[in-house]
Structure 1
């Protein structure tokens, strides 16, 4: 599938010759997406026959957007292969056995359907390619089977007993078999992504006029109120407006434990409601849902080209010219210069054209990319494109944002210290009232404690956020200041009375929030964000790979160092404001290191964009998907390591395939042209050249599929 090709009018794809299909959502453009293809349109045998006869070569048409077309093309190639094989067997048998009658006419009858029906995809594709003033693999195959077929007809009419019918038939059969195997090798990834689409239920319960009504999921509109009962799949993304439940999001995000949901919480289409009944309002439908974005990312990655593939494509284009030219030169040398019979010269010429098909070269990286991105998606590692898949293997330094990446991102209050003039409840109420306006991660810890202690929030005015340092506001006529020691010092607040407690908290690696009321220190709240269970081992494994690991945080130096050292991180950037994080990424880049940044995809967006590879962890947000090159749906630091391992393995397969395909072409072309015949008497007939070409392509496809063997390292 060449999804990137669009047109404002009907026609065919200039790259492959496939008929362009109208896109449902954009009437002004057309591409060959099969999303709107109805089963009824291909149900009759006549429609299937027409599609089959206008279908181009299937190698580049296995993208997810055309998954129905990909499936249909694989079936078509398979059917054509078996028909071709069924007819080729008697053709070969008649060719190599002696019979009492003239067999050329019978061979013509048997070969004609092989050429015109089974080989039509090559003929049609080559016609489109030439019409578009380009050359591709189909041209080479078409030249080979046509030359053998037409010369055989001429030889039949002049009464010759020697023909090339078996070469034309075997060439068609072997190439069809190679394409069928290649398409099967890539189908697994497409099927896996199709399974994601199948997570969405076909129908949804919508509340209309106070009554429950079942409608197709495709008819759900934004702001519709939907009902979920226990065991229901969530049809679209939305926000709960009534009720409480637990949602199993494991099939979408990979999180194994059901997540508690209540009013105001978001639900993701494709997840499963495990307990209570809730009502939710649809906020995203169709292609805008998280699940659709995941599939779109993987689809885009599989249809993109790695830098190495772009070079291979250019080489393959010239190889087509070399093959055609080589075939002509081979014929000229053997027939005109060396004076060999025309059939002898033609044998070498056709073999040269056939064996030089850059099929394996064209498959070298796309198959590896398809398998690699599919494996990543299976393990909740979403890689945006093929260049990213390749570049992740080059990472030399990695910057890990502390909160949410290395730690749980859910700080808990561990200590509350007050001065003589204030009580603990007063401190919590003043701090909570102000922090409720901030949305800072630490504010959640205070608000949870207020709810637990059944305290009440007060009215707040003149709220102001001091980025990276704290907040200030007026509550019941009192000036409230909450933040770091530096903020207190800058505002002239004396903290000596609680300095001992502050030092103790800092030694323990806790984050502290000081509270002053009317410029008098009132107390301090200590919170701690615990490291994730897998953080330490992930850091250790990264260092084993030779990566320089750095941690970046807004915490003070002492707290940052305690946390960093406990995880085995030596390079620590502390007291960093959100807007300054990208400067530290730039610092590592200035040291000549290919640098990755890992963060939550929200306040780390500038740093993610600045880095060579941006990795958003535990993300399903729009910001993460837009900003990062890699999105890790789970909040597991080990997934960072898995992404690197996957990238290195995929790049290794790409290189192996490119090396094999290049060596094959360099050695095969001169052998097919007959360089070994004068000294060794070796002749490579066209049918065996086709067999070798197909085997080469299959080797590349199988080698790419063997990438799945690393899956045990991703678990």
Structure 2
């Protein structure tokens, strides 16, 4: 499921692609290069996501090969803003439309029903139509000729080839008839078809402009993320006067002063001060979070109350914000499996269309209407235009593009487009308890030990847990501080994943953890069992402690369900998904929490390897399994599951192992992600059905002469427009079911 360490990923921006045949051609050629493990070209994004063998320096060679195919390629970092490109495309569209409208006005004389409408005499002059159509054909349409020539040179055929063939045939025939009429002194507007070539080019430009606009709307989220980081910061050097410098000069370890209302420029931790911090755009949490000494700061968040001093721990692409942007670009550049099937169809579509057009011309000119070269030619042109697979190529990637952008706005980050497809197939979701179903910030409720030893035990355990990142460790340290106890620092603490902590404090060997940890150390906890049974029935978690190999006491902790948990689980069950709790906690504690959450199936006292085994057992039974977790101990199961989902408060290791990251801690995001996945895939299927039915129905009509070339061109462009418009509906889709 997840990429192996023997591979590296790169992303390229590609310009010049016009249809699915282009993207398929690039995938075919680059995919055969040595060292290229995988390539996915995204047509609407104009991008390529590549997986290469680790240690290879292939980027330059790949770019050179793509350029030899007739396209331009560069890294994402070098790619320019798309606004100027959209503006230029829009300007061409306006000019082309203005030149084409008089031709369409004159065209109404071709039809009996509209032949009585008033038309300026000038518009009916063939030489005037020639003047209007020529700049559309050869100036505005020049890129089509350029791209078609590059495609032919590389022994391939794409949409540009179809457009050039169809429009040039219509233009040259009309040009010939215009010259003939000028020489003979006649002027028959029915004899020329300049509106056909001009309308096809204008309609295609309209489709391209709408595609570019849809892409730009979907990319706005990434643009906003990029703009979150400030360009200048205030640095504090050796306690001297603060100095304003460029963000590019900042190094890891630098001390920065952040004033109220300013944006945190990088990831770091609070050194001095205390303030409410707004992390809404990063995590989706609407309420500002209180930050104090040693707390983590996320780049892009906003300081609200008081100034703080922070130490930089990560910069640029290594920050949480930078990683989010990178993952979002990868998700929109990657391809769902359903898109790969479409590409295989599109790769052979254009050559098939050329053959069909040639057959159409031959059948009509030689058999059905012998000698009617003009009629046969225009039927062949209609087939060329109507059969273009633009809509087919846009059907999948446009929906993935819009869907993943909309998901990110809701705080859901898909690492790759294929996970959108896989999530909607899930049968079972395994849920970790602590930090996933619950807040993950438990508090100590009881300290059970020998009379008069409560403070001594708590002081030893707090020292052992000091510096450990687990929520239980933090709760014990916090309780010791609350009671006014001095908490020592120790460098000998060792966290044993899924079991507990082993440390040495004041020459004492300290063990604190689960029953399994005590059993593994062969320490009997039998004398504490009676008093803990009632506490466990109340939903409290028991941590057993031993000092120098002797059982010393029990710490009881209570963690409460997140307010969103019961509703989120009800939504998942309503969608037909089975929800199961998997936790390392004792059975009684796990059952108490599960009862409150509404979960009936519980696996308790599960070590990390047990969770992985459960995932694989369910998969062997034919189930598609998702795992939701937040801790280091969940990472193996997150990686083993068909889909791993990490919640926003989780560890970096869990987030790296997962396929989907929730940027907040609200479990409703899991249900939202499933709904989003289902709606996106439904949208893709609608697009594919429309695109395929369009071609299946339209080609026979064009062959029978029931579609004129300009109508075929308009219908072809509108098919692409309809696909883009349908995909754009996801921008306003509600994920609440």
TM interval, shorter chain, is 0.7 to 0.9
User: Contact (CA 8 Å) 1:238, 1:283: kept in 2 or not?
Assistant: yes
TM-aligned CA deviation for residue 526 of structure 1: 0.6
User: Contact (CA 8 Å) 2:200, 2:710: kept in 1 or not?
Assistant: yes
SS of the residue 1:603 aligns to:
helix
Q: How many Å separate the matches in 2 of 1:184 and 1:546?
A: 37
TM-aligned CA deviation for residue 647 of structure 1: 0.3
Match of residue 374 from structure 1: 405
TM-aligned CA deviation for residue 6 of structure 1: 8.6
Match of residue 174 from structure 1: 203
Which of these residues, 63, 80, 83, is aligned with residue 92 of structure 2?
80
Q: How many Å separate the matches in 2 of 1:625 and 1:429?
A: 33
SS of the residue 1:598 aligns to:
strand
Match of residue 439 from structure 2: 408
TM-aligned CA deviation for residue 263 of structure 1: 3.2
Match of residue 510 from structure 2: 480
Q: How many Å separate the matches in 2 of 1:365 and 1:123?
A: 27
SS of the residue 1:388 aligns to:
helix
Q: How many Å separate the matches in 2 of 1:230 and 1:461?
A: 36
Match of residue 219 from structure 2: 190
User: Contact (CA 8 Å) 1:204, 1:235: kept in 2 or not?
Assistant: yes
TM-aligned CA deviation for residue 148 of structure 1: 1.4
TM-aligned CA deviation for residue 365 of structure 1: 1.2
Aligned length, in residue pairs: 673
SS of the residue 1:204 aligns to:
strand
Match of residue 91 from structure 1: 103
Cα deviation 1:405-442 (Å, max 9, x = unaligned):
1011111011122223x421112112212222654431
Residues 390/504 of structure 1: CA separation in 2 closer, same or farther (3 Å cut): same
Is 1:106–2:136 an aligned residue pair? no
> What RMSD in Å do the two structures reach over aligned CA positions?
3.3
Tell me which moved more, 94-103 or 366-375.
94-103
TM-aligned CA deviation for residue 375 of structure 1: 0.9
Residues 466/173 of structure 1: CA separation in 2 closer, same or farther (3 Å cut): closer
Residues 176/481 of structure 1: CA separation in 2 closer, same or farther (3 Å cut): closer
User: Contact (CA 8 Å) 2:403, 2:676: kept in 1 or not?
Assistant: yes
Q: How many Å separate the matches in 1 of 2:264 and 2:532?
A: 47
Q: How many Å separate the matches in 2 of 1:568 and 1:687?
A: 61
Q: Which runs of 5+ in 1 are unaligned?
A: 34-55, 678-682
User: Contact (CA 8 Å) 2:466, 2:489: kept in 1 or not?
Assistant: no
Residues 526/365 of structure 1: CA separation in 2 closer, same or farther (3 Å cut): same
User: Contact (CA 8 Å) 2:44, 2:212: kept in 1 or not?
Assistant: no
Tell me which moved more, 96-105 or 211-220.
96-105
Q: How many Å separate the matches in 2 of 1:391 and 1:483?
A: 37
Which of these residues, 654, 657, 674, is aligned with residue 684 of structure 2?
654
TM-aligned CA deviation for residue 221 of structure 1: 3.2
Cα deviation 1:477-521 (Å, max 9, x = unaligned):
444333334544565655454433111111112111223334544
Match of residue 447 from structure 1: 477
Q: How many Å separate the matches in 1 of 2:531 and 2:44?
A: 75
Runs (4 or more) in structure 1 with deviation over 6 Å come to 16-21, 63-67
| Structure 2 length-normalised TM | 0.85
Q: How many Å separate the matches in 2 of 1:304 and 1:185?
A: 17
| Structure 1 length-normalised TM | 0.87
User: Contact (CA 8 Å) 1:601, 1:619: kept in 2 or not?
Assistant: no
Tell me which moved more, 313-322 or 87-96.
87-96
Residues 265/486 of structure 1: CA separation in 2 closer, same or farther (3 Å cut): closer
Which of these residues, 95, 112, 116, is aligned with residue 138 of structure 2?
116
User: Contact (CA 8 Å) 2:14, 2:46: kept in 1 or not?
Assistant: no
Residues 556/285 of structure 1: CA separation in 2 closer, same or farther (3 Å cut): same
Is 1:635–2:658 an aligned residue pair? no
Q: How many Å separate the matches in 2 of 1:214 and 1:82?
A: 47
Residues 213/169 of structure 1: CA separation in 2 closer, same or farther (3 Å cut): same
User: Contact (CA 8 Å) 1:3, 1:31: kept in 2 or not?
Assistant: no
Residues 196/302 of structure 1: CA separation in 2 closer, same or farther (3 Å cut): same
SS of the residue 1:575 aligns to:
coil
User: Contact (CA 8 Å) 1:3, 1:65: kept in 2 or not?
Assistant: no
Q: Which runs of 5+ in 2 are unaligned?
A: 1-9, 16-21, 27-42, 49-55, 64-69, 110-118, 183-187
Residues 272/101 of structure 1: CA separation in 2 closer, same or farther (3 Å cut): closer
Match of residue 359 from structure 1: 390
Q: How many Å separate the matches in 2 of 1:625 and 1:30?
A: 31
Match of residue 422 from structure 2: 391
User: Contact (CA 8 Å) 2:13, 2:79: kept in 1 or not?
Assistant: no
Spell out the pairing of 1:393-542 with structure 2 (5 A cutoff): 393-420=424-451, 422-436=452-466, 438-457=468-487, 465=495, 467-488=497-518, 493=523, 495-542=525-572
User: Contact (CA 8 Å) 2:174, 2:193: kept in 1 or not?
Assistant: yes
Spell out the pairing of 1:21-32 with structure 2 (5 A cutoff): 29=59
Tell me which moved more, 385-394 or 281-290.
281-290
User: Contact (CA 8 Å) 2:628, 2:645: kept in 1 or not?
Assistant: yes
User: Contact (CA 8 Å) 1:17, 1:129: kept in 2 or not?
Assistant: no
Q: How many Å separate the matches in 1 of 2:427 and 2:411?
A: 23
Tell me which moved more, 536-545 or 151-160.
151-160
Match of residue 244 from structure 2: 214
